[in-house]
């Protein structure tokens, strides 16, 4: 819990600062009105204008404090909203690259503390540009949202799905044994490549190249992403050749 000194030190915007000054002024008036006069004693309590002024000041101060609390709550809600927007992809609602990097950093810190393992998948859509060129950007946006939906539907609640570029996605799967990383990644890859997006009666199959790597306590974020990226592009190059599709 914050102390009074912390509260006083907290930055306030212009309107909040003015309100704070008004509240503290009213409380000072209230305290001054309650100070006993020299002539006052237990047999002759203070009544009259001083008491009325104190009660009025107290009521006004309470109203002002309630308003200050509401303003603070609105500011805190706005801060949370802005923080969420800074790590969220607006089109798909997934995490963006910044959000993904943040969660990957946390996962690696947990791995170092508890010898945990997991996997990272890098996903690049194949032949996405022709969709935009042929059917328009609305179709492309819908296609990306469909990809996001497929990925979200087949991961655990603790996993992280992100759109890290125009047609690039990433999945962070935490707390996985190394032996199960490959099977989970292959299952998600198959689900994604088996999906078909219906755009106004035209069926557009999703095709994606995927690279996945497992990670442990000794890995760094840059190494993981570089390895996954390389594997993803190897698969993309293989899929572009007739031999790659046969294999």
CA gap 114, 108 in Å, rounded: 10
CB 192 within 8 A of CB 208: yes
Q: Please give the residue that has the higher pLDDT: either 65 or 84.
A: 65
Q: What is the pLDDT of residue 6?
A: 43
Q: Please give the residue that has the higher pLDDT: either 215 or 57.
A: 215
Least confident of 68-72, 114-118, 120-124, 181-185: 68-72
Residue 65: other Cβ atoms inside 10 A = 15
Q: Please give the residue that has the higher pLDDT: either 31 or 124.
A: 124
Tell whether the torsion through CA atoms of 19, 20, 23 and 28 is positive or negative: negative
Torsion angles phi and psi, residue 210, rounded to 5: -130, 135
Residues 26-51: tens digit of each pLDDT: 666 666 655 555 444 555 555 555 66
List Cβ neighbours of 154 (8 Å cut-off, separation of 6 or more): 187, 188, 191
Burial class (CB within 10 angstroms; exposed 0-12, middle 13-18, buried 19+) of 31: exposed
pLDDT tier at 13, thresholds 50, 70, 90: low
Q: What is the pLDDT of residue 47?
A: 52
Location of structure tokens 């949202």: 145
Q: What is the pLDDT of residue 30?
A: 60
Whether pTM exceeds 0.75: no
Angle subtended by helix axes 137-153 and 178-193, to nearest 10 = 140
CB 100 within 8 A of CB 88: no
Q: What is the pLDDT of residue 232?
A: 93
Residue 7 has pLDDT above 50, yes or no: no
Give the start-end residues of each E strand in the chain.
Answer: 118-125, 160-163, 168-173, 196-199, 202-205, 208-215
Q: Which two tokens stand for residue 139?
A: 């179709």
Give the start-end residues of each E strand in 60-201.
Answer: 118-125, 160-163, 168-173, 196-199
CA gap 230, 116 in Å, rounded: 24
**Average pLDDT of the segment spanning 116-143:** 94
Given 89, 167, 214, 219, which residue is catalytic?
167
Q: What is the pLDDT of residue 49?
A: 54
154: annotated active-site residue: no
pLDDT tier at 239, thresholds 50, 70, 90: confident
CB 208 within 8 A of CB 124: yes
Residues 134-155: tens digit of each pLDDT: 999 999 999 999 999 999 998 9
């Amino acid at each position: 819990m914050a102390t009074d000194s912390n509260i006083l030190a907290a930055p306030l915007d212009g309107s909040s600062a003015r309100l704070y000054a008004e509240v503290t002024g009213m409380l000072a008036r209230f305290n001054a009105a309650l100070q006993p006069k020299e002539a006052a004693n237990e047999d002759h309590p203070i009544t009259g204008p001083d008491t009325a002024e104190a009660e009025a000041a107290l009521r006004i101060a309470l109203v002002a404090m309630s308003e200050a609390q509401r303003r603070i709550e609105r500011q805190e809600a706005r801060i949370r909203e802005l923080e969420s927007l800074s790590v969220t992809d607006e089109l798909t609602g997934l995490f963006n690259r910044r959000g993904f990097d943040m969660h990957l950093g946390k996962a690696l810190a947990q791995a170092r503390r508890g010898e945990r393992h997991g996997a990272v998948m890098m996903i690049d859509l194949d032949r996405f540009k022709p969709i935009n060129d042929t059917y328009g950007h609305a179709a492309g946006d819908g296609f990306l949202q469909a990809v996001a939906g497929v990925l979200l539907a087949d991961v655990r609640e603790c996993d992280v799905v992100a759109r890290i570029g125009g047609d690039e996605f990433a999945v962070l799967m935490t707390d996985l044994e190394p032996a199960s990383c490959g099977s989970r990644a292959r299952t998600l890859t198959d689900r994604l490549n088996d999906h078909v997006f219906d755009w106004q009666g035209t069926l557009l199959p999703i095709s994606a190249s995927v690279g996945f790597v497992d990670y442990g306590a000794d890995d760094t974020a840059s190494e993981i992403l570089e390895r996954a990226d390389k594997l993803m592009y190897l698969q993309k190059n293989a899929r572009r050749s007739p031999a790659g599709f046969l294999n």
